[in-house]
Structure 1
Amino acid sequence: MKPKFNAVSNIRLTLFLFSRNPKGNPRGYMLFLVVSLLITLSGLLVAYAILAKVNNISAKGTATGNSGFYGAEGALNMRVEELRDVFLSDRNPSGTSPSSLNQCLQQTSMGTGDFRCKVASFASPDKNTANIMAYSYVVPKNGGVAIQGTVPPGETFQGLNMLETRYDISSVTAKQNANPEEVIAMTEMTVKSRQIPMFQFAAFYLNDLEILPGPNMTLNGPVHTNGSLFLGANNVLAITGQVTVGRDLFNRRKNDNSTYPDGRVRIANSAGTLRNLLQGGTGSTTQTTAAMTPANVNATWGSQVQLAVEALSIPTISSLGAGGNYAQQADINFVYAPEKTGVNVPGIGTTVIPFNVTATKRDALGVGTATPLTNAQLASLRQPVLATGAAVTAGVCTPATPPILTPILTLTQTGDVLDALRRAILSQTTPVPFSAMGSALSTPLRNSMQPLLSSIPAAQQTLILASSPNQIAALAGGCFISAPIQHPNIPTIYTNGVSFINNRERSPGNNFRAMSLMQINIESLTVWNFQGRYLNDTGTGLVSANQLLFATATADAAAPANSFQRLGLAGSDTSSNGLVFHATVSAGATPNPNTNASPYGFALVGGQQLPGLAETTNNFDPTGLTFVSDQAVYMVGDYNITNWQPASVLADSLNVLSSRCINNNGQIAKASGTGCGGNAFDTTINSAFLSGTDITNSTETPGYNGGLENYPRFHENWGTLNYTGSFVSTGTPEKVTGRWSNQLYGAPTRNWSYETRFNNAKNLPPLSPRFVFLKQEGFSRKFDQ
């Protein structure tokens, strides 16, 4: 302050001298005036220099303060993104927070896990001073427990179920090696993390979404895309749920800019009234390729249609792979391994079993021990299964007419005969065709059975050995169902095994791609788990497979008649809200399964009834089944139509086939061309879908991607496909990237609808994927603490 005082004194002195009378001594006065002026100017220059120095110091301090604030704010944002990443990895943040700010600054108690104190360093704006350090930590509210709730009206994703967790994030900055009280800036933020299941949308796309149906189509659930939304229709497309769009909304095709007349596309406002997209979005009925005007959209639909919504972070296709969360939390893991060579199994001999299965029976908290199935158990899974008792009551097969035996066999003798038949089938080195169950015993089966029938009179042996396996099974009211797992024969994999000629996923230079498909029969797997048999370690006896794959629930008398749940065959697993099956291909397979031209996939058959639990008066929280694969999945026939349960299929790409494509051996089979030997049978599917889809006019898939109406990949001449569920696209396929324009099929009549039962959180499928929507609730900042 002294420099400022002296400068002011000099100014006052100058004013005083100017006030003197100059007439007494003009020369002296002039000299004195010049000297006085010099002194005054000198004082001003000194004052200016000092003020400039003070201003420079102040500017550096301000720069340091600003940098400290921006550093603290940046640290907050980093911690927010880390929380988002944790949720996307399908786990909740965990750990302990530092008990105080000083402990974080002094590095005496850092905390642990996702909430611990973290330190970041960045350069100070003053090069002569130490770097600026940013310290941040997280404090979960309510103990980090997520609260089930519903997104409030008027907000983005209104009305959807969510799990909401609140967190306080604190960040401070200080110069490196400063004392704890020498804080530059402090910031605090409260965020709400909302995890929202993606299966609550009729359609949810990571990239541009196109909905351009031919026949009338109504979507009665929310629609979201991180990209742009292209809508059109040859007749009428009506959308009744909230529409959220990351970019722009169009009333045209994306690939050729074709436009549509007013009234073809209608979207409901908050009152439920359908408003025409073109007029409501532009204020005019003139067709246009331009995007809908945001102001018009807002005036017409309000919060019901929202544009420029923040892009959402969602799981990627790669998360479906062997190292991903779904594989780690699965109850059953299937690995197709065509490179496997022959192994010696007691009672069978040398045989090739080109797959592995691991079962993890979990408790309610999801904890369990992974148990790989033995070679004898794997060998049993590839043979037809004898269903008796409750399984037959469930309607999995119909018993044939048994051979007429006189006298009638005793129960013990009948049991011996059935066990002899089981052992004969299980001892074969290759899978016994399912079609053989309806024909007289083949020579290998007859030769295997005969030594085991010593307790049966010779005349009865002759009658039994002349019968078919199904006739013999009928002696106990039983019948055979096809194998739980079928696979291409090795090494001639396309001769008699599971094969599918795909005229869409074309190989370079060819008009088709021959797919090597491992087939999983859900119905047969459920029955095998309940009453299957496999050879013991010596190969001379049978061991029950009861509950080897999953524990079964107590029979529920309130479940529908003859259902798995009512008969005690359904799984009791409630971890992750039900059963999760994961399927992948061994990394050692040749050709390589981890390319964009993988020839592998999984066929999912026998899914009319799933092995989970539906809601009944005895069971208020249904479970269900989620099937996951990082390869192509082919769904064949009706799915989840008996005893409805929460269900989903997650895959690299998803194909839908009718049961026309199942041959008399119970195997999926299709030659080159359209269809599987006839028009497709009408099919009903009740399941959510998550898979990759093509992108129109992209480098990966030039041309049109087929739109939402071709989300499932078709291969037949269709009649009607009844579908109730949810369509989620998480990007382009990584393993199967065939173009939509190359396919051979006849489009189905699409009787499609959003599964409104998913609006209730308890009805969501096991491990339903969620996107994370972080909402800032509060922010405060202080300088120069």
Structure 2
Amino acid sequence: MSNLFTPRNNQISSKITRLIFHVSLHLWKREKQSEQGYILFVVVGVMLVLQALLMAYIVAAKIEKSTSEASVNSNSSFYGAEGGLNLRAEKIRQKFLLITLPNGQGSQNPPASTADCLDEESSNNGNGDFQCLVYKIGGKNIISYVNDLNNQDAVTQQPIPRRVTIPPGELFEDLAALEYRYKIVADAQPEYCDPQQLASIPEKDRPDCSQESKQEMLIKIRNVPLFQFAAFYKNDMEFHPGSKMVINGPVHSNGSIYFGAQKADPDNLKIMGQVSAVGDAYSRRKSEDTTFSSDRTTLCKYNASLPDGQDCQALHDSSYTDSLLSLIDRTYIKNRWGNRLKVGVKNIKVPEPSFLNKNGDYHAQADLRIQFNPAASGANLPFAVQSINRNNGQIVILQPGQLQSLRQPVITNFCSSVPNELTGIPTDLNTPERKEAIAKALKVSIASIKVSEVPLKYGTELTSSLNTLYSGGVGKIHTVKDNIINALVATGLDNGTATNHWNNTIKDWNPNDVAGLRTTSSLNGGCFVASPLSVNQFYNSREDRQIQVLQFNMKALTIWNKDGVYVEFTGNDPSNNNSGNGFSSNQALFTLYDADNNSSNGIQGDSTAANGSFQKLGYAAADRTEGGLVIHATVDETVADVNTNQSPYGFVVTNGQELPGLSTTSSVTDPTGLTIASDQAVYLQGDYNTINKQPASVLTDSINVLSNACLNTTTNLLNCGNHTGLKTTRTAPAATATKIQAAFLSGTDISQTGVPNGGLHNYPRLHENWSGITLTYYGSLVSLGTPQHVSGAWTDNQNWAYTNPKRDYNYDRYFDAYENLPPMTPNLVYLRQEVFSRKFLR
């Protein structure tokens, strides 16, 4: 206990004693009578009592001060340690929001206590996201560290999270989640206990750094894939379908939800999953105040079979009369719906739209990066490509010759049908070896087309004679004559004979004839596929402007990665054709899946895969990093308007019926698939992921769907979206039935008063006349904000823009299984506290 008899307290006591003595002496001198003696006795007694009371007050005040200081110190320690826990927990959560995992040595060599953070030994301090850290909070040093409680794979030492199903009654019930567990420890110590300062002091001379407060927290981080929602919106979500719409999965909005179904039909809008919103629920459209009858919207239990009146009810019953702008009372919702419709839930943190640009995660983690350079001309190529080997992190920048080859049609053995071989082939040419030589020479010649030339046209020029394309050495394929003659000479023919064969026979063949030759490597003959990458244009009526696009031919990209040939270029001209053999583009874009994992046997396809599929024939990608193949597409950021909401650029994806990832087979239990990400508009043309189905997603600034009719099969170029006439006089081109199986993440507009955004059913932007035509969609619709590079408003079923299809839209229950999610599926991340403990130590 502190000394109560301080100099100040002693002075006070001494003064009181002297006062009593002087008063007593004075009274005694003045009066000697007995009465005065009695008075003296009383006064002395009173004085003694006052002195005792004063001393008691001094002692009590001192004790109170000591107690108060101890309480303040204790509270500072407690709240400081709690703050340290919260700071470390938030750092862990932020890692997950960036689509990465916390990393470090916390799981292999963690601190056993905060004493390890303060001692001279550094090997037990952990590192990375788990290391010892010091925060200064409330005049205290808060020493903290993190332990990784996840199981560890013995080989990769990567955390293996638990796959859990969120229990009934919780938000996002029945969804699959990856659950990670961590222990966070935070101790409060005196401010002088700073590890950096203590490190320079010998341990025997260090001050007392005993803990003042110790706190521990066990947390669960749950990653819930956004593509396990039928629909997920960062902003308000609106429903106002004009025809029957059934949503067979969960729905969430970080804003409010507006139920504005148009038709008086209980099946006009039926939702078969949990519905949740951070804001409120309304039975009206956001853009107008008209109230919509409750019997137009029905909510059902998850997985309910239709029709089933026991599992489904109207949004609110006829007795509900509150009509404050059709806001549905929260208490009423809770009583009627319980966990099926939840409003006022905590805001869920989701990625920002910028995560799709060149500074974002998808560009950083992509396996293939493609940049469109629309201003390129002459000897400058209109795109650049980077391939990233995720096994070693090496970035490979494709050479100009490889890029020029990607602009040309590709000869392949991967053909759905091959024409009959030419007849009348001279006997000395009609051998597999010499036909192989001619075919290879044509491949090299096409790869040698000058950069400044228009690429070889698929369709029309493939039926032109070689002599026309050669045109005396100044034509488009200006090297074809010399290359074929030299190739035949290499097989043993003399130059004169080879030249005669060119002049008398070969020059009259066309490229398709040569591709169809039965050669040593193509016993059944081959065919051409259109160029993997080509520059095109599309008139977007909603934006009312011409869009310059880079067109991806997914089939051709996949084939070129195995069968393509290129030559080296210097500027505009070819400079090295490898002695007439060209260079193989084999695996220039991505590593091929080898079923037997034995390179000496060559690439062995998956024999258990679907007949005729990329996977079976050895064209599929092997990549499993980030869950599978990821392609990121962007535009040169220096060109005009690219970073505005008037961007005249975008990307078209064609021939995507089959994708280059791995589907589930008896040999592949964890499929990979393909994710395409872009910070510009994407136009998805034709059937997509309908052959050898695999996990697939498209993440883009705005998603546009074009039907199978929008591609000219002869030229393999878009044949819709042509600007002809004014809006009032032109008509959208006719669509044909189309099916898409892929999750979408895209920007969507927000309705304003009198300006609707079209509602969820108009999420994909359409540009054709779909009247009476079915658009079938299986996937997930996610919106994390408004588009950054387009601004055209939705128009309701205008003939010049589009007309409504028969919408067969479905949440794809394929995504319910975690292994079926597309590569780099974005997640919502939330933290749950499992255990919290605290100790006051002094």
Matches within 5 A, 1:209-224: 209-224=237-252
Matched with 2:146 is: 138
Specify the code of the residue in structure 2 equivalent to 1:435: G
Tell me, yes or no, if the aligned pair for 1:270 and 1:303 is still in contact at 8 Å.
no
CA change 1:34–1:573 in 2 (3 A) is: same
Shift of 1:27: 5.8
- 1:690 equivalent to 2:726? Answer no
Specify the code of the residue in structure 2 equivalent to 1:543: F
CA change 1:287–1:367 in 2 (3 A) is: farther
- 1:728 equivalent to 2:782? Answer yes
Tell me, yes or no, if the aligned pair for 1:337 and 1:354 is still in contact at 8 Å.
yes
Matches within 5 A, 1:194-593: 194-235=222-263, 236-269=268-301, 272=304, 273-279=310-316, 284=320, 289-340=325-376, 351-362=379-390, 366-388=391-413, 391-392=414-415, 395=416, 398-400=417-419, 403-407=422-426, 409-429=430-450, 430=453, 431-441=455-465, 443-447=468-472, 448=478, 449-454=480-485, 455=488, 458=500, 461-462=503-504, 464-476=506-518, 477-487=525-535, 498-505=536-543, 512-535=544-567, 538-539=576-577, 540-553=580-593, 554-587=604-637, 589-591=638-640, 593=642
CA change 1:305–1:108 in 2 (3 A) is: farther
Q: How many residues align?
A: 725
Shift of 1:638: 0.9
Matched with 2:86 is: 77
Specify the code of the residue in structure 2 equivalent to 1:499: Q
Rounded to whole Å, the distance in 1 between the matches of 2:743 and 2:761 is: 15
Shift of 1:741: 4.5
Shift of 1:213: 1.3
Please give the per-residue CA displacement for 1:487-529, whole angstroms capped at 9, x wherever unaligned: 2xxxxxxxxxx11222323xxxxxx232221111100111111
Match of 2:762 among 705, 710, 714: 710
Match of 2:215 among 187, 197, 204: 187
Specify the code of the residue in structure 2 equivalent to 1:599: P
Matched with 2:649 is: 600
Rounded to whole Å, the distance in 1 between the matches of 2:208 and 2:681 is: 57
CA change 1:82–1:547 in 2 (3 A) is: same
- 1:177 equivalent to 2:192? Answer yes
Could you tell which deviates more after superposition, 672-681 or 758-767? Answer: 672-681
Specify the code of the residue in structure 2 equivalent to 1:782: K
Tell me, yes or no, if the aligned pair for 2:374 and 2:548 is still in contact at 8 Å.
no
Rounded to whole Å, the distance in 2 between the matches of 1:541 and 1:567 is: 24
Matched with 2:56 is: 47
Tell me, yes or no, if the aligned pair for 2:140 and 2:191 is still in contact at 8 Å.
yes
Tell me, yes or no, if the aligned pair for 2:299 and 2:315 is still in contact at 8 Å.
no
Shift of 1:291: 3.1
Matches within 5 A, 1:6-155: 29=38, 32-33=41-42, 36-37=45-46, 39-41=48-50, 43-95=52-104, 96=106, 97-105=110-118, 109=122, 110-123=125-138, 131-143=139-151, 144-155=159-170
Specify the code of the residue in structure 1 equivalent to 2:179: E
CA change 1:322–1:400 in 2 (3 A) is: same
CA change 1:514–1:85 in 2 (3 A) is: same
Rounded to whole Å, the distance in 2 between the matches of 1:466 and 1:134 is: 84
Shift of 1:649: 0.8
Specify the code of the residue in structure 2 equivalent to 1:153: P
Rounded to whole Å, the distance in 1 between the matches of 2:303 and 2:631 is: 42
Specify the code of the residue in structure 1 equivalent to 2:405: S
Rounded to whole Å, the distance in 2 between the matches of 1:747 and 1:264 is: 20
Q: TM-score, normalised by structure 1?
A: 0.85
Shift of 1:570: 1.6
Rounded to whole Å, the distance in 2 between the matches of 1:285 and 1:416 is: 83
CA change 1:293–1:427 in 2 (3 A) is: same
CA change 1:638–1:181 in 2 (3 A) is: same
Specify the code of the residue in structure 1 equivalent to 2:96: F
Q: Secondary structure at the match of 1:311?
A: coil
Q: Secondary structure at the match of 1:684?
A: strand
Specify the code of the residue in structure 1 equivalent to 2:762: N
Could you tell which deviates more after superposition, 172-181 or 228-237? Answer: 172-181
Q: Which has the larger radius of gyration?
A: 2
Shift of 1:207: 1.6
Q: Secondary structure at the match of 1:323?
A: coil
Specify the code of the residue in structure 1 equivalent to 2:102: P
Rounded to whole Å, the distance in 2 between the matches of 1:645 and 1:682 is: 21
Rounded to whole Å, the distance in 2 between the matches of 1:732 and 1:647 is: 23
Specify the code of the residue in structure 2 equivalent to 1:665: T
Specify the code of the residue in structure 2 equivalent to 1:255: S
Matched with 2:20 is: none
Rounded to whole Å, the distance in 2 between the matches of 1:180 and 1:100 is: 16
Please give the per-residue CA displacement for 1:348-390, whole angstroms capped at 9, x wherever unaligned: xxx331211122344xxx44522211111110000111222xx
Specify the code of the residue in structure 2 equivalent to 1:716: E
Matched with 1:126 is: none
Q: Secondary structure at the match of 2:362?
A: helix
CA change 1:226–1:682 in 2 (3 A) is: same
Matched with 1:671 is: 722
Tell me, yes or no, if the aligned pair for 1:501 and 1:514 is still in contact at 8 Å.
yes
Rounded to whole Å, the distance in 2 between the matches of 1:603 and 1:736 is: 16
Q: Secondary structure at the match of 1:740?
A: coil
- 1:620 equivalent to 2:669? Answer yes
Rounded to whole Å, the distance in 2 between the matches of 1:292 and 1:745 is: 34
Q: Secondary structure at the match of 1:169?
A: strand
Tell me, yes or no, if the aligned pair for 1:661 and 1:676 is still in contact at 8 Å.
no
Please give the per-residue CA displacement for 1:272-318, whole angstroms capped at 9, x wherever unaligned: 444435326x9616665343333332333322322222222222222
Shift of 1:41: 4.4
Shift of 1:579: 1.3
Tell me, yes or no, if the aligned pair for 2:190 and 2:209 is still in contact at 8 Å.
no
Match of 1:769 among 826, 830, 840: 826
Shift of 1:238: 0.8
Specify the code of the residue in structure 1 equivalent to 2:749: D
Identity of paired residues, percent?
39
Rounded to whole Å, the distance in 1 between the matches of 2:213 and 2:510 is: 85
Structure 2, unaligned stretches of length 5 or more?
17-32, 152-158, 194-206, 305-309, 473-477, 489-497, 519-524, 569-574, 594-603
Q: Secondary structure at the match of 2:295?
A: coil
Shift of 1:420: 3.6
Q: TM-score, normalised by structure 2?
A: 0.80
